[in-house]
A and B are shown apart, each in its own frame.
Chain A
Amino acid sequence: MTETMQQPALSAPQAAPWRISQRRIVAFRKKFWVLVLFLPPALLLFTTLVVLPMGEAAWYSFYRWNGYGLPTEWIGWRNYEQMFRHGAFQQALINNAWVIVASIGVQVPLALWLATMLVKKIAGAVVFRLLFFMPFILADVAAGLIWSFVYEGDYGLAGGIAKFLGVQAPFLLDDPNTAMSAVLAVIVWKYFGFHMMLFIAGLQAIDRDLLEAADIDGATRWQKFRYVTLPMLASTVRLSAFFAIVGSLQMFDMIMPLTGGGPANATQTMVTYLYNFGVARMQVGFGSAVGVVLFVICVVMAFGYKRIFMRND
């Protein structure tokens, strides 16, 4: 009699799963107050700082508005039409793609290569790690300013080196054909340290025994890397690529001091385009349209990437 009256073990799922156990109810009650206390502020912040502005931007994008007072001139899709027809916007899209390609194709392999060397406990490894990480600590604007002096053909470092070698100084930032490549070089320089640190952490998490086992089996260094290290690093690489993509869509602070989006719109990115053609021209409606397009691209990228590549991470 008494046995049937006893409660069954609480941790195992019940025969009738729709019956919530007593313990779970108690646990939920405790969590309930935590939820009530912490959820509203987060929701409030997210709504007022993300959702509302996004909604407002979408609304403004259908108006021709100079930013003063309230928008009054409804123009429907004209802002979007103008934007997609504009050569500078198309260039901005292409440049954003280039930044992603450079980040994933140059930055990540470079960071991986350096990480494999610096993860070992050799003399000076920590010093080098610090050196390579330092560009990342610099503010974007400061980095842009410094490199604009480096690239200066007349009075800057490039000019000085050219004079020393006795050749005509190249004006990399002033030629529409070379400006974007010069900017990409700065971007790689700025962020490779961050990815390197990610990879070092990932490499340190790899079990020594696996590599020893591979050694015993007679694997070469390259085979060890290809068949042991890389697969174990795969999720870190995917994370790195994700950061690279998200970061490149936001690229603004470094481009402004370097080239301001020029010469002749050769180095525009989505955000510099938004600033130069939207805000600076007092065309806030147009700028909002660019913002909406940028938002859509970001959301598609973020969710798509997570869905497709990071499904199992």
Chain B
Amino acid sequence: MKLLKSALTSAVCALALFGAGPALAQDGQVIRWMHLEANQTYLDAWKDLAARYEEQNPGVRIEFEFLEDSAFKAKLPTLLGSPNAPSMFYSWGGGVLKAQAETGTIRDVTEALDANGGEWRNSINVGAIEAMTFDGKVWAVPFKQDVIAFFYNRALFEQAGVDAEAIETWDDFLDAVRRLKEAGITPIAGGGGSKWPLHFYWSYLAMREAGPEGFAAAKAGAGFDSEPFLRASQHLADLAALEPFQPGFLNTSWTDALGLFADGRVAIALGFPSTLKPESQARYASDGVGLSLETAGRFAFPVVEGAPGVVTDILGGVNGWVVTRDAPEATEDFLRYLTSLEGQIYQAERQNMLPVTTGAEIGKTDESELLALEQMKGSTWHQNFLDQDLGPNVGGVINEVSVGLAGGLITPEEAVRQIQEAWEFEQ
């Protein structure tokens, strides 16, 4: 019995030592990278970059963690408060990032950005950094941005006798929708099931009606119970009255709506820069090919006549990586590598993203994405997605009222009232 006992004890000790061995030898840092990317090709690009960084920095190991979009949003609050928090995670900036900053579970990257005379900060697009800045501190490292624009099917437009180049004002756009309907074509792909695709319309109309100053004033405390936002809601209601969306659009997801556009069953989609990329079209279209810049085109969101917003005011996201409070020191350094010219060009070549680092645009070769980059360069005001910028609560309401207005289910007055109510609740 005694022999058995001592044999057992020595076995356990040996196992413990072996188990501790690798950990002792490494003394390294583990960066846990939490992302939402389901596309394997895009993920491989990040894995390559991570492998390169690990080669150059032997003490560091990078682990990938994946969560799907809505699961990520739901789980993050609990994760951040727990010891299982990742080292870096995906962010859309805006009020949600601000709410996270106020909890003390993330750390700002201002110091790292400003080191060496602001070397890192100056390499990145100013607008992108601003989108991640609150109270003078930068809370996430931006790595991509986009701009939402209209995409249209050339053949269907010709069939209806609509000239995309001639669409400059909102009235022109409504006219185009009417002509498409008369020609028996479903005008617009609606993603009401996902809700946020419809909020693009409301956001752009609100930007056009309020202009940058009006918007800033609203966010600063004046709220949304005012003429510009009422008129914006009315414009969306006018569009809804024409019944421009496909049947059942209130429950259609964004990917299904894009599928309709790629299949040529609807004429217009208001979407992301990657919409006409060959690999995106291949994924959405039933025939595996879809549209291209030859069969489809792009135009900017029209202006509203008499309103302060100009056509160079753009709506689009800025995405970045947030560093958590207890993340290893190497995290900021790794992010510096990711946003370096080398890293950004590598990502630009292989992924859907539009880079934020100056000079990295040469990695983009797809023509439709280059058009988007051009539009961003010439922008006078780059507004982040409202459902992120205004925080999760007001943002959620904006999604809801956009769906309500587009479906003809609520009046513009009711829409503005709901947004104002949610806004006041936040103050």
Q: List residues of A whose CB falls within 8 A of some B CB.
A: 64, 66-69, 78, 82, 153-154, 168-169, 171, 173-176, 259-260, 262-265, 277, 279-284
Contacts and interface: CB of A to CB of B under 8 A. Distances in A.
A190 B13 CA distance: 55
Given A260-B193, A263-B250, A279-B74, A176 B409 contact: yes
B393 A153 contact: no
B250 A66 contact: no
A284 B77 contact: yes
Q: Is the interface of B mostly helix, strand, loop or mixed?
A: helix
B251 A281 contact: no
Interface in B48-78: 70, 73-74, 77-78
Contacts of B392: 66, 280-283
A38 B392 CA distance: 46
B400 to A, nearest CB: 8
Interface residues of B, number: 34
B349 to A, nearest CB: 34
Interface of B: 70, 73-74, 77-78, 80-81, 96, 99-100, 102-105, 192-193, 247-252, 256, 391-393, 396, 400, 403-404, 407, 409-410, 425
Contacts of B256: 154
B103 A68 contact: yes
A66 B99 contact: yes
B407 A171 contact: no
Contact of A82 (B103, B105, B248, B425): B425
B251 A282 contact: no
Contact of A68 (B100, B193, B249): B100
Contact of A262 (B250, B396, B425): B250
Contact of A283 (B102, B249, B393, B409): B393
A69 B251 CA distance: 35
Interface centre among A173, A175, A264 (most CB of B within 10 A): A264
Contacts of B70: 280
24 contacts: A64-B425, A66-B99, A66-B103, A68-B77, A68-B99, A154-B248, A154-B256, A169-B247, A171-B248, A173-B248, A174-B192, A174-B248, A174-B252, A262-B192, A263-B192, A263-B250, A280-B73, A280-B392, A280-B396, A281-B396, A282-B77, A282-B391, A283-B392, A284-B77
Given A82-B425, A264-B404, A69 B105 contact: yes
Given A263-B407, A279-B74, A69 B248 contact: no
A174 B74 contact: no
Contact of A67 (B77, B252, B403): B77
Nearest to B391: A282
A174 B251 contact: yes
B251 A263 contact: yes
Contacts of A259: 251
B337 to A, nearest CB: 29
Contacts of A283: 392-393
Contacts of B99: 66, 68, 282
The 4 closest A-B pairs by CB, nearest first: A68-B103, A171-B248, A67-B77, A263-B250
Contact of B247 (A171, A260, A277, A279): A171
B251 A262 contact: yes
Contacts of A67: 77-78
A183 to B, nearest CB: 12
Contacts of A173: 248, 251
